[in-house]
Amino acid sequence: MPHDLFTEDFKEQPFWWDRTPRPEFEPGSLPSRADLAIIGSGYTGLSAAIEATRGGLDTLVLDAEAAGWGCSARNGGQISTSLKPSFGDLARRYGAGRALSILMEGHRALDWLASFVEAEGIDCDFQRCGRFLGAHTLAWFDRLRRDLENEHRELRTDSFPVTRDEQHGEIGSDYYYGGIVSPHHASVDPARLHMGLLDLAIRSGGKIATNCAVSGLERLSDGFRVSTAQGDVTAKRVILATSGYSGRLSPWHRRRIIPIGSYMLATQPLPDRLIGELNPKGRVNSDTRKLVVYYRTCPRRQRVLFGGRVSIKEPSARATAPALHDEMVRIYPQLADVRISHAWMGFVGYTFDKLPHLGERDGLYHSMGYCGSGVSLACYCGMRIAQQVLGLPEGRTPLDTTRFETRPYYFGKPWFLAPSVRYYRWADRRGR
Ligand SMILES: Cc1cc2nc3c(=O)[nH]c(=O)nc-3n(C[C@H](O)[C@H](O)[C@H](O)COP(=O)(O)OP(=O)(O)OC[C@H]3O[C@@H](n4cnc5c(N)ncnc54)[C@H](O)[C@@H]3O)c2cc1C
């Protein structure tokens, strides 16, 4: 590892915020009433706000921080078609038909987002770039190939295997034993996407209150009292859109969401020739290890953006950047002397069954738990939950038919993650 790992102008903040700083709003007075209050101003909250205001509801979005401060303006911008559980896992639980309809939602979410971005003219560098998923052992390559052969025909992923001999056409690395290319996966500038949604939500008539943490939710006979330090709002309906940042506000939801730290870095600008060698087709990448890594080049193709789960909850991205740099160099030894210009982290919301959950409980609506794949899913599910609030039949989705589970002795602090991570590390080293 180079001694001077960080550039002189290193920033501990998302690379995306250089081009798209977090918006600031003049402090204004909170309305005392709203038809709908949405807690959380990420993709879920804003997508719900757009749909609800267009459906005629007087809508207020509240966020404890700046707009999009959570995961939505700090993620990797990689968009997959897949939900985390396999067809086999879901078929065992729900039967083949339901398993297929649940998995199809992953495809629908990406297709819906692609059409929405185009129809609304959101300038966010959306590209169908495809993903290369590297196999970290030969056994994993064989398994990926087998899974592909047995893939359900209706999923139509069009994925294809790439052998180790061919892989330099996809990635400038010898780390993998081949992999799978999924051509429909996409990439986006996540902060531009967020800004586009924010703009649409406001233009549709939605109101937004930032730096306005909701400290209490009290049920009334015809809605909720939403308490904040800036005053109370009476809302007929409330949507909880807090995902990995779900705190004490609703203990029921907190018991069902597992916050897991995800860490990213951006390299200093790199020569075109090197970028062309590392990522010849401009794909997004990840691999088969249990301890997830994900990486890509930025939209202008000057830098590598590299992410992974190098810690569970360390809040300092600077402290975790050396471990992330080591991971990057394991895959791309060409980057051993390259310095880091930005490092940042955020908390993704996981669930016990690895599926997102949306629905209503005692009048309180929620959409959360995208398990690290929220760019398309949060936008899509946010739109669907608002349709449910509006009472529209199209708001129903196969995702809202599954039980939102918790586990005994889990109250929001994931004590079981440290031993799981140790096991994953051990399993990854042995190629399990
Ligand atoms: C580093 C990183 C990389 C990622 N990479 C990818 C990727 O490449 N592809 C992908 O698909 N997904 C990725 N994700 C996940 C994805 O970004 C999220 O799933 C998605 O943005 C969730 O959106 P959301 O609107 O539900 O929640 P968030 O965007 O997290 O928003 C939740 C908001 O709720 C607010 N809030 C919480 N409590 C309160 C309260 N009491 N009062 C008011 N406001 C409150 C928070 O301030 C926060 O702004 C990544 C996440 C991280 C952290």
**Distance between CA atoms of residues 330 and 215, nearest Å:** 44
> Looking at residue 3, what is its pLDDT?
55
In short, whether 375's Cβ falls inside 6 Å of ligand 1 is yes
Check pocket membership of 213 for ligand 1, CB cut-off 6 A.
yes
With residues binned 3-state (H G I as helix, E B as strand, rest as coil), the percentages for the chain, rounded to 5, are: 35, 25, 40
37 lines ligand 1 (CB under 6 A): no
- C-alpha 272 to ligand 1 mean position (Å): 32
Q: Does the C-beta of 44 come closer than 6 Å to ligand 1?
A: yes
Report whether residue 75 contacts ligand 1, using a CB cutoff of 6 Å: yes
- Map tokens 């267009």 to a residue: 54
**DSSP, res 265:** E
Q: How far apart are CA 259 and CA 348, in angstroms?
A: 6
Residue 176 near residue 335, CB atoms below 8 Å: no
Cβ of 43 closer than 6 Å to ligand 1, yes or no, is yes
CA distance 118 to 112: 10
CB atoms within 10 A of CB 362: 6
Contact predicate 120/46, CB 8 Å: no
Residue type present at position 145: R
**Element containing residue 419 per DSSP (H, E):** helix 417-429
CA 296/CA 298 separation, integer angstroms? 6
Cβ-contact 356, 258 below 8 angstroms: no
pLDDT score for 213 = 97
Q: What is the pLDDT of residue 185?
A: 97
| Ligand 1 centroid distance, CA of 320 (Å) | 20
Output the residue whose Cα is nearest ligand 1's atom 15. 372
Q: Please give the number of the atom of ligand 1 that sits closest to the Cα of 45.
A: 25
Give the residue, by CA position, lying nearest to ligand 1 atom 52.
75
Looking from the CA of 6 toward its CB, the CA atoms found within 13 Å total: 14
**Which helix (DSSP H) or strand (DSSP E) does residue 293 occupy?**
strand 293-297
pTM for the model stands at: 0.97
Closest residue CA from atom 3 of ligand 1: 75
> How far apart (Å, rounded) are the C-alpha atoms in residues 317 and 74?
12
- Probe target for ligand 1 pocket from 22, 245, 324, with the most ligand atoms within 8 Å of CB: 245
Structure tokens at 58: 């007087």
| Alpha-helix runs per DSSP H in 69-160 | 87-94, 96-120, 138-149
Show the tokens assigned to 171: 């990635």
133, 145 in Cβ contact below 8 A? no
From the centroid of its chain, how far is CA 319?
22
- Taking the centre of ligand 1 as the mean of its atom positions, its distance from the CA of residue 390, in whole angstroms, is 24
The verdict on the CB of residue 249 being under 6 Å from ligand 1 is: yes
Atom of ligand 1 nearest to the CA of 244: 30
247 CB near ligand 1 (under 6 Å): yes
Q: Where are the alpha helices (DSSP H) in 286-407?
A: 317-331, 374-389
The CB of 348 under 6 Å from ligand 1? The reply is yes
CA–CA separation, 152 and 107 (whole Å):
13
Question: Which segments of the chain have a pLDDT < 50?
Answer: 1-2
SS3 (DSSP) at 399: helix
User: Distance between terminal CA atoms of the chain?
Assistant: 28
pLDDT at 69: 96
Strand (E) or helix (H) holding 16: helix 16-19
Q: Is the CB of 78 under 6 A from ligand 1?
A: yes
Q: In angstroms, what CA-CA distances link 1 with 6, 33, 117, 322, 367?
A: 11, 56, 40, 8, 41
Query: What's the pLDDT at 26?
Result: 82
Pocket lining: 267 vs ligand 1, CB cutoff 6 Å = no
Using a 6 Å cutoff on CB, does residue 198 contact ligand 1?
no
Q: Is the CB of 15 under 6 A from ligand 1?
A: no
The pair phi, psi for residue 393, each rounded to 5°, is -60, -30
For 1, counting Cβ atoms within 10 Å of its Cβ (0-12 exposed, 13-18 middle, 19+ buried), the class is: exposed
The string of pLDDT tens digits covering residues 99-150 is 999 999 999 999 999 999 999 999 999 999 999 999 999 999 999 999 999 8
- Residue 190: in which H helix or E strand, if any? helix 190-203
- Among protein residues, the one whose CA lies closest to atom 35 of ligand 1: 40
DSSP string, 193-205: HHHHHHHHHHHTT
Q: Is the CB of 63 under 6 A from ligand 1?
A: yes
Tell me how far the alpha carbon of residue 428 lies from the centroid of ligand 1, in angstroms.
Answer: 27
Question: For residue 224, which amino acid is it?
Answer: F
**What DSSP letter does each residue of 221-235 carry, written as one string?**
TTEEEEEETTEEEEE
Atom 41, ligand 1: residue with shortest CA distance: 214
pLDDT in tens, 255-286: 999 999 999 999 999 999 999 999 999 999 99
Which atom number of ligand 1 is nearest to the Cα of residue 346? 53
